[in-house]
Amino acid sequence: MREPTTTTTTPDATSEVIRVETRAEGEYELRQTTTPKRFAVADGELLNVATAAAPIALRWTSGLMCHGYEAKVVDGEVGEGEYAVWSGSGKAVRETSDVAKFPRPEKPLKMYQFQGCPFCKKVREAVISLDLDVIYYPCPRDGPEYREFVRAEGGRAQFPYLVDDNTGTKMYESDDIIAYMYEKYGPGKANIGPALTSGTLTSVTAGLALLPRLGKGSAYAPSKKPENMQPIVFYGYEGSPFCVLVAEKLCELELPYLQRSCGRGSPKRQELFDKRGTFQVPYIEDPNTGIAMFESKDIVNYLQEQYAA
């Protein structure tokens, strides 16, 4: 039986309120310095969020939605415990997609990549379209662990690099990886969206979309990972600028993370709503410390304080 949730508040050095929810053994402590608010930008983060939002226009919203996404305004407001992007005045916006029709891998795919790479970005967008859960192993420049693994495993330090333990498949080349994922876990490679097809234009726009971030998520920052580190669980999606800020920090510190992909139309939006009574991303659960957090600024600060050397 679940123990009652307890909440404590403590003023920190900046007079913000820290809220810690202590739950039953085996669950995560939710730590907040700010109350989650939809679409709100934290103080001092406007420029960061604005530059991270650049791909929304350049990439034709690729990385925002699941394949077959559809939104409808329906009569009636949502019931208690039910997720909807908006509800009020007797109406609700319902979101659906085709991902429930696709085969699901038994084990998460493994992807070796880094945030500042345009070819890796295309693959991350395809992951959102197919609503796949992927363990990302960041390979920033000068990273001591996963970049060297790829060099030893595949013969060269080239990214992205896919390992699918469900089929024994290992491959380089973004276009080949996207085609493989669509064929194996999606509607077939003939249905790859135009923003993800092979060609100069898609690669150029992916590169231009990363320019405003000035190389963020590309170079290694020394970190202190625990021995046998477990991947941090990260609910998010590529098209969210708030999620981009967290993914960049995870990459720079070379911290592995399991992305629970939840683009528009993903059933995992309801999953997070069931877990926390709200849907907002980014949201992380760190099995190495037992800490859970919303809010990109808070998460980035936590990762820096917990893992930076």
Q: What is the pLDDT of residues 34-46, one digit of tens each?
A: 766 666 666 677 7
Q: Tell me which residue has tokens 């290694």.
A: 220
Question: How does pLDDT run across 73-128, given as a tens digit for each residue?
Answer: 988 877 788 888 888 888 888 899 999 999 999 999 999 999 999 999 999 999 99
**Does a structural domain hold residue 26?**
no
Higher pLDDT pick, 49 / 226: 226
Count how many domains the chain has: 1
**Does a structural domain hold residue 206?**
yes
Range of the domain at 224: 32-68+103-307
- Strand positions, DSSP E, the chain: 6-11, 17-22, 29-32, 70-75, 86-88, 91-96, 109-113, 133-138, 161-164, 169-171, 232-236, 257-261, 283-286, 291-294
**Does a structural domain hold residue 77?**
no
Q: What is the pTM of this model?
A: 0.85
Q: Decide: 32 and 293 in contact? Cβ < 8 Å.
A: yes
pLDDT at residue number 52: 67
pLDDT at 221 over 90: yes
Going from the C-alpha of 226 to that of each of 25, 130, 163, 287, 293, the distances in angstroms are 22, 32, 24, 11, 20
Average pLDDT over residues 291-297: 95
Which CATH number fits the domain that encloses residue 125? 3.40.30.10
Q: What is the band of 19 on the pLDDT scale with cuts at 50, 70, 90?
A: very low
Token pair of 282 as six digits? 């980014």
**Does a structural domain hold residue 255?**
yes
**Does a structural domain hold residue 76?**
no
3-class DSSP assignment, residue 243: helix
Q: Decide: 2 and 18 in contact? Cβ < 8 Å.
A: no
**Does a structural domain hold residue 252?**
yes
Residue type, 296: S
**Does a structural domain hold residue 23?**
no
Closest CA to 26 of 292, 294, 270: 292
pLDDT at residue number 39: 61
**Does a structural domain hold residue 175?**
yes
